Copies of this chain bind each other. A is one copy, B any other.
Amino acid sequence: MKNRERPIGIFDSGLGGLTVFKELRALLPGEDLVYFGDTARVPYGTKSPEAVLAFSKEITAYLLEKKIKFLIVACNTASSLALEEIRGLSPVPVLGVIEPGVEAALKAVPAGGRVLVTGTSATVNSRAYSRALAAAGPGIKVAEKACPLFVPLVEEGWCARPAAAIAAREYLAPFRGKADVLILGCTHYPLLKKVIARVMGPRTRIVDSALAAARAALAQLSGLGLLNPARRGSSEFIVSDAPARFSELAYKLLRIRTGKVAVKRF
């Protein structure tokens, strides 16, 4: 098999990374995609750096056995805490979601402007976004805000219910009118984009790290000559627990029809 015909591996703590999967599927219809969701250990966002690192390494080794040509860490928490170690393990290129999100934010923010990063507790505590923004865009003011309830709200399918709006207000009302750009620094958060935008007001641009990551993957694969010329690629889904629930939520939240979902336990 030629390198360019090999699949792309994608992983997340659960189903949030499906927002990246969905953008990728649309941008790269010819690619074979293998998605792994660590549903036995979800969420990662409240766990320690050591645990997230150990889980990420296990999953990387498993996806490498599948002869992938490219790996996307479609989880902000794992990208914040484990990207360098994953790159050290992987003979194939590895893309995280932080760098594409930062690049997209830098394009959207005015000079000396203000960026608000939203994410899980682990992502915010890692300060990965602040560091990357400070390095790439000196003079930009960065605030970070952890929003731990957003992931469970999405997983409950309550994106359009009053509880989501109330939670968004609790977390974000103090920042209303005080950010030029808000980064959705968790792959679940694009599903709450509307309620978040409503709290922030019309002057804040929302940057979606899932979409930015999918675009970055396209650019990198193209630059490496690794794009698959096929007309239609396959999609494979593997989880570490509860495949039926994963399949049901993938359809309910994102209208993704997974077909049969395989199980790999660690």
- Residues of chain A whose beta carbon lies under 8 Å from any beta carbon of chain B: 39-42, 46-48, 50-51, 54, 148-149, 151-153, 155-156, 158, 161-163, 166-167, 170, 241-242, 245, 265
Nearest residue (CB) in B for A162 is: B166
Instruction: Report copies per complex.
Output: 2
Output the nearest chain B residue to A151 by Cβ-Cβ distance.
B152
The residue from B41, B46, B155, B163 contacting A242, defined by CB atoms under 8 A apart: B46
Q: How far is the CA of A90 from the CA of B41 in the complex (A)?
A: 26
* Residues in chain B near residue A51, CB distance under 8 A: 40, 241-242, 265
Residues of chain B within 8 A (CB-CB) of A241 are 47-48, 50-51
| Complex partner residue of A41 from B41, B148, B152, B167, CB under 8 angstroms | B41
A58 CB to nearest chain B CB (Å): 13
> Complex Cα distance A163/B41, Å?
25
Residues of B within 8 A of A265 (CB): 51, 54
Interface contact B166-A163, CB-CB below 8 Å:
yes
| Contact among B48, B155, B170 with A163 in the assembled complex (CB-CB below 8 Å) | B170
Chain B min CB distance to A35 (Å)? 19
Instruction: Identify the closest chain B residue to A41 (Cβ).
Output: B41
Further 17 A-B residue pairs, CB within 8 A, beyond A149-B153, A158-B170: A40-B41, A42-B46, A46-B242, A47-B241, A48-B245, A50-B241, A51-B241, A51-B242, A51-B265, A54-B265, A148-B156, A149-B158, A149-B163, A152-B152, A162-B170, A163-B166, A163-B170
